[in-house]
Amino acid sequence: MATEELETRRPTEEKESTGRHMTKGKVRRARVDDLEAIIDINDNVYDGIDYMPAKFEQFLTDERFAIYVFEMENGKLASLINFEIHSEVGDLVGISSLRVRPSLQGQGFGRPEANPVTDQFRRENPKITRYLLQTLLTPKIQAKLDQGKIGRVLYRWNFLLYKLPENHRFLRNPDIGANPTTAERRPVRLSPTQGTEWLDRSDQLTTFLSQFADEFIVAGDKFAAVQLSRTQLKRLFTISTHVFASFECPLESNPTTGANVPLAGDEIALDGRREIFGFSCSGGHPCKYGMRINVHYFGNDEDDLLRHVLSHWLKFADVIASDVRVALWLNFPLAIAHGSVENRLRSKVGERCQDGGWSAEQFVQYISDFGTLIA
């Protein structure tokens, strides 16, 4: 383990603090027995589809993460921040989750620079000078971007969130609105072994993804930030439930019908000789609503995006009971029109979710110095 990471993982001393608000308490590292308190804070975060309750214990044991909490004098938790440690970039930490007890919102806990948890983390880790944050592109954040008050933007992307009721099996219909082409670009599922071997042989995937984001992309069900390097992209294949890539897929004649059909996926060699058109990864986890599935797509082709969505959905549909409600969260580049995708999916999944703070249509990921955290 790198020195920087050892220092970052150092146990936290419980420190009395009044922060920059009136609530008194202490900052400490989260413990396993904090789970019920964490669920209490996160009960309605993200309108019932938050990942934190399902992933809390995993975060505690994963050396890439460090959860700090602010415990009030009455023993209840006021706030938590989950820091994602990027040891490959020694001065950088990701703020992957920031949660505040609803009754204490508006007291400064929701602003990293005013939260005593951040103060404590920075005191214990003086080498960490920058943070990486991804957030909804609200009017306030957009104004900060326009004014140049946010650091370097790495990636902006569209998202669509759908809450599907029970009996969602209708999505098994293979016609999800993607128009056929003369040279079908069909998604091919990649195993972690295949992905690792591909990255060992070629820079093709790294080069392709670099068209859409600078330095980091977002992947998996926890929206993990993965650095755009061949070594770090191998992690993407281990944290994702399913990974698909689409290539130029030559057609062959079906001897029975005479129709041209794409070659089988296992005949596509990942040797860099075929052009890649799209790449996607997904992850799923239980949540208060039922089940949340995140699909992250990278590419410029709307039809290809819809084929990838269907490919991921069919994999999850095989293991999700029909009476479980599903929140389907789609993420895709700005080059693909948000409204067009929404219109084409409407007949299959209905209207996108806009209540509960979801009226925004984009996310943004950026890196900034701690001294310029959003006020």
pLDDT per residue of the chain (375 residues) written in tens, 0 to 9 = 222 222 223 333 344 444 455 568 899 999 999 888 888 877 667 777 888 888 888 889 988 899 999 898 888 888 888 998 887 777 889 888 888 887 777 666 666 666 788 888 888 888 888 889 888 898 888 998 889 888 899 999 999 999 887 666 555 554 554 554 445 677 889 999 999 999 998 899 999 999 999 999 999 888 888 999 999 999 999 999 999 999 876 545 445 544 443 444 444 445 556 788 899 999 998 888 889 999 999 999 999 999 999 899 888 988 888 788 899 999 999 999 999 999 998 877 889 988 766 778 999 999 988 765 544
Furthest-apart CA atoms within the chain: distance in Å: 77
Which residue(s) pair with 25 in the sheet?
17, 72
Per-residue pLDDT at 100: 81
Cα–Cα distance measured from residue 333 to residue 354, given in angstroms and rounded to the nearest whole number = 20
Cα–Cα distance measured from residue 296 to residue 247, given in angstroms and rounded to the nearest whole number = 17
* Residue whose C-alpha is closest to residue 158's, from 302, 276, 45: 302
Per-residue pLDDT at 308: 93
Between β-strands 92-100 and 130-136, what pairing exists: parallel, antiparallel or unpaired?
Answer: parallel
Query: In this structure, is the dihedral angle defined by the CA atoms of residues 352, 357, 360 and 364, taken in order, positive or negative?
Result: negative
Cα–Cα distance measured from residue 111 to residue 268, given in angstroms and rounded to the nearest whole number = 48
Per-residue pLDDT at 13: 39
State CA 54 to chain mean position distance. Answer: 15
Name residues whose C-beta falls within 8 Å of residue 145's C-beta, 6 or more positions apart in sequence. Answer: 153, 364
Per-residue pLDDT at 19: 43
- Token pair in block for residue 330: 């789609």
Per-residue pLDDT at 256: 52
Q: What is the 3-state secondary structure (H, E, C) of the chain?
A: CCHHHHHHCCCCCCEEECCCCCCCEEEEECCHHHHHHHHHHHCCHHHHCCCHHHHHHHHHHCCCEEEEEEEECCCCEEEEEEEEECCCCCCEEEEEEEEECHHHCCCCCCCHHHCHHHHHHHHHCCCCCEEEEEEECCHHHHHHHHCCCCCEEEEEEEEEEEEECCCHHHHHCCCCCCCCCCCCCCEEECCHHHHHHHHHHCCHHHHHHCCCCCCEEEECCCCEEEECCHHHHHHHHHHCCEEEEEECCCEEECCCCCCEEECCHHHCCCCCCCCEEEEEEEEEEECCCCEEEEEEEEECCHHHHHHHHHHHHHHHHCCCCCCCCEEEEEEEECCCCHHHHHHHHHHHHCCCCCCCCCCCCEEEEEEEEHHHCCC
Per-residue pLDDT at 265: 43
Cα–Cα distance measured from residue 118 to residue 93, given in angstroms and rounded to the nearest whole number = 11
